[in-house]
Structure 1
């Protein structure tokens, strides 16, 4: 179709690739809102579930850790589980984005603006 147009054909190809990338990124953003990861602490006594975008969705606490004398320990376990879930969410998000961008020749450490 663009044969013989030289750089114009290359530009059209780049624009098409950019549009395809934009569609894939938009679809991925929607998927990241429903993908979940689970972080945990205390050998699974506290579990936090978050979306791949890092939004906390659920918290599961084993009742065996509810001892009034251990309040600070429980709080630390909860925070650790949430941080673990958020870290896993970030890793999942980056891995999913890498799947989309790997064919574009971008540097491995390239970060999209979201």
Structure 2
């Protein structure tokens, strides 16, 4: 269809790929909201659940850790669980991004969006 247009034929193909990538990126962003990851601390006594985007959606604390003299320990465990969930969310998000770049035939280490 674009024969005889020289580099413009390649440009049309590149634009089509760019639109396809934009569509896949939007789909991935939506799917990240549906993916849940759980971070833990204190051997599972505190669990934080987040979306793959890193938004905290839940917190589960074993009642056995509620001792007034251990308030700082509990606070540290909560923060550790949240940080673990956020780290897992970041890893999952990067994993999903790698899948898209591979499907598009792009280098796996390419940073998107541009």
Tell me the TM-score normalised to structure 1 length. 0.91
Aligned partner of residue 53 in structure 1, secondary structure: coil
Find out whether 1:9 has 2:9 as its counterpart. Answer: yes
Partner of 1:78: 78
Gapped runs of 5+ residues in structure 1? none
Partner of 2:50: 50
Contact 2:98–2:108 under 8 Å retained in 1: no
**SS of residue matched to 1:2:** coil
Match of 1:87 in 2: 87
Q: Tell me which residue corresponds to 1:59.
A: 59
Q: 2:106 is matched with which residue?
A: 105
Q: Shift of the alpha carbon at 1:95? A: 0.8
Shift of 1:64: 1.0
CA–CA distance in 2 between the matches of 1:15 and 1:24?
14
Q: Distance in 2 between matches of 1:55 and 1:14?
A: 34
Q: Tell me if the contact between 2:101 and 2:108 (Cα under 8 Å) persists in the aligned partners.
A: no
RMSD: 1.6
Q: Stretches of 4+ moved more than 2 A in 1?
A: 3-6, 102-107, 110-114
Q: Which runs of 5+ in 2 are unaligned?
A: none
Task: Give SS of 1:33's match.
Answer: helix
Deviation string 1:65-86 (CA, Å, 9 cap, x unpaired) is: 1111111111000000000000
